[in-house]
Amino acid sequence: MSAIKYRPPNAPYHIAILGRSGVGKSSLCNLIRNLTSEHTNFAPVGVIETTGIPTCYKLIDNVFMWDVPGVATPSVSKEDYCKLIDINRYDMFLILSRGRFTEIDRWLSDIVRDRFNKTLFFIRTGIDEELRNHRRDYPTNFNSIEVLDIIRNNCLKNLETSLSKTNLSLYLINTKDKTKFDFSKLINDIMVHVNHERDNLMLTLIKEDPTEQIIQSSISSTNTTLQTAKTIVTTWARFGLVSYLYDRYYK
Ligand SMILES: Nc1nc2c(ncn2[C@@H]2O[C@H](COP(=O)(O)OP(=O)(O)OP(=O)(O)O)[C@@H](O)[C@H]2O)c(=O)[nH]1
Ligand SMILES: [Mg+2]
């Protein structure tokens, strides 16, 4: 089974921050919003599983960031995750990983690639710790550029199955310091991507069954199924039905 997601121009645009527990999803949310624990709207962070329910924060006008629970914990299994976070709600995905690349990182990346055919923003956090540890391990011949290259290449190698079908954007960051590593580029790329997608009508054919072929695209696609869907939706839209249904059930 597949589902068509219709996103009218100017509708709210939703960004999901996904990943295992403790990778720094809430920390990144706070860093992007310039908040510290002194602020009331600070997303709670912690040394144990912390975020319990998907929580929405306004980024800019009509653009929202969702800090969601971590996957693959005793309370949130892989099987329940997509439903728990309502994965079809999102227009863009940031996948966070920390430490060794895991099977969960690949699973999440594959969902974004296979089910949505979306650009993959893969973000490796905790780079400050990696460098600190490596310096302790090899104090005499430590070279930070080399360590960053090793991490980058390892992520690319592990994600290469995703590379063939989607754009991949890889960033190394420290969620405690926006001046370090790839953080500025990450923010810049997110805004370029959001500006490109936010104000356009988007049709996404979401693949629910992993055995089906990739069938997602935007309105500009020449895919026949999508073109048919586009025609139906455009016709509905003329009579105001889509916006009625959107207002009634989605808002
Ligand atoms: N040194 C360092 N610590 C980090 C980094 N990112 C997160 N942390 C720390 O890791 C811990 C977990 O961070 P959270 O932001 O709560 O992680 P989360 O992914 O939201 O975790 P859940 O809500 O349980 O899913 C906190 O103590 C953070 O301060 C990082 O880039 N560098
Ligand atoms: Mg959290």
Ligand closest to CA 177? 1
The arithmetic mean of pLDDT across residues 15-23, rounded, is 97
Ligand nearest to the CA of 47: 1
Half-sphere exposure of 78 (CA within 13 A, CB side): 7
Q: Residue 251's closest CA among 64, 3, 4, 79? A: 64
Q: How confident is the model at residue 26 (pLDDT cuts 50, 70, 90)?
A: very high
Examine the pLDDT at 138 and tell me if it is beyond 80.
Answer: yes
Domain count for the chain: 1
Does any ligand 1 atom lie closer than 6 A to the CB of residue 129? yes
The string of pLDDT tens digits covering residues 211-251 is: 444 434 444 444 555 555 555 555 555 445 554 455 555 44
What letters, b where the CB count within 10 A reaches 16 and e where it falls short, cover 116-138? bbbbbbbbbbbbeebbeebeeee
70-115 pLDDT per residue, tens: 999 999 999 999 999 999 999 999 999 999 999 999 999 999 988 8
97 lines ligand 1 (CB under 6 A): no
What was the pLDDT predicted at 251? Answer: 45
> Measured from the CB, is residue 18 less than 6 Å from ligand 1?
no
CATH of the domain at 126: 3.40.50.300
What is the domain range of residue 232? 2-250
Ligand 1 atom with least separation from CA of 96: 19
Q: Using the mean position of ligand 1's atoms as its centre, give its distance from the Cα of residue 190 in Å.
A: 21
| Ligand 1 contact via 54 beta carbon (within 6 Å) | no
What is the model's pLDDT at position 31? Answer: 98
Q: Beta-carbon neighbour count of residue 248 at 10 Å?
A: 8
Q: How far apart are CA 170 and CA 21, in angstroms?
A: 20
The pair of three-digit structure tokens given for residue 34, joined into one six-digit string: 């310039």
- Tens digits of residue pLDDT in 186-214: 999 999 999 988 887 777 778 775 544 44
Measured CA to CA, the distance from residue 251 to residue 248 in angstroms comes to: 7
Tell me the CA–centroid distance for residue 45 and ligand 2, in Å: 5
Token pair recorded at residue 142: 């430590």
Q: Which residue's C-alpha comes closest to atom 4 of ligand 1? A: 126
142-190 pLDDT, tens digit per residue, is 999 999 999 999 999 999 865 665 688 999 999 999 999 999 999 999 9
What lies within 8 Å, CB to CB, of 17 at 6+ separation is 25, 28, 29, 65, 66, 67, 68, 94, 96
> Do residues 194 and 121 make contact, with C-beta atoms less than 8 angstroms apart?
no
Closest ligand 1 atom, residue 52 Cα: 23
